[in-house]
Amino acid sequence: MARAPHDVPSPDPSLPTVSGLVVVDKPAGWTSHDVVARMRRLAGTRKVGHAGTLDPMATGVLVVGVEKATRLLTWVVGQDKTYETTLRLGQATVTDDAEGELVAVAEPADVEALTDEAVTAAVARLTGALQQVPAKVSAIKVDGRRAYAQVRAGQDVELAARPVTVSAFDVHRITRTHDDAGRPVLDVEATVSCSTGTYVRALARDLGEALGVGGHLTALRRTRVGALTLEHASTLDELAADVAAGRPLPVTTLERAAAGLFPVRRLTAAEAGDLADGRRIGPSAGDPAEGPLDNEAVTAGLAPDGRLVALLRDRGERGARTAKPVLVFLPGERFPETPGPPAERGQDR
């Protein structure tokens, strides 16, 4: 059971405010906003955000940014993700998961006739580059209103298909069982790795539709966002225990987070100073004589002392390339050529 707000400890005021990413193992029943609200109290700052919403029924990796690390969240959101999931075949719901009301129940004979081979063949067709229609009960806006609000108001919502990539859809177990009303169903346990924007609920729906029996999600646990996994995660109770004991929150520092997201460029003191002032420097990837120019690739620029100065993108035509700062973390800073000890920024996990 979650603690009441007055029972949540606040950080020791003698400790510096941490800045970095905190990987939270989100509990079931909590919204992502609930987790952010709790983290604001534990971190002692309002400057907290999250990267990638998890539905209340889902658990697992929720990446939370504190202080300056909130500026990295846009890039964290875009990382591929991995989920452990259970999909139920034989029933469809309005939300495409177990939270919604049943809208269709397959004939028992149709469910019982499904073979494991038919299920795995349909799963294979939902792997790779797909055009996916998102779940209707979602935060996507249609005509300026959230889709879930329109569905709950009884309106019919049509969402456009979006390109997504399901890089892995591995079935581990297919269990033939019955729901609480004694109706036959198939529970499919699987691991799904996918691009940002993929709805695992929609995969359950589409798998059920492909097999002619309907489907929805009954369990979802996110185990990875980019390079951050459950091994890096702490529960809210563990984080509260750290704070109550006077310890700083365990964070992945800006530098380590950026190094896990992007290629790293070691800067000279002069380059770091130019970037801190918003000026361009020489290109990060060189100036290729031939081949396509990648104007979207992002590089993390680290100062001689190891601090994250800026995120960079190469710009310009062949023969005149420069690296432009797209996000500066240390504006106006000056850097010695000889690296000194990095600033204290809390525990790094």
Report helix angle 32-43 to 236-244, nearest 10: 10
Query: String of b and e for 230-250 (b: at least 16 CB within 10 Å)?
Result: bebbbebeebbebbeeeebbb
Distance between CA atoms of residues 187 and 32, nearest Å = 27
Distance between CA atoms of residues 67 and 136, nearest Å = 34
Q: Is 180 a catalytic residue?
A: no
112: which 2 tokens? 């019982």
Catalytic annotation, pick one of 7, 25, 55, 180: 55
Angle 37-327-281 from CA coordinates, rounded to 5°: 165
**Helix (H/G/I), strand (E/B), else coil: 307:** coil
178: which 2 tokens? 């019955």
Burial class (CB in 10 A: 0-12, 13-18, 19+), 76: buried
Q: Are 194 and 129 in contact (CB under 8 A)?
A: no
Distance between CA atoms of residues 272 and 309, nearest Å = 6
In angstroms, what CA-CA distances link 183 with 21, 107, 179, 186?
A: 45, 9, 5, 10
71: which 2 tokens? 């500026």
Where in the sequence numbering do the catalytic residues fall?
55
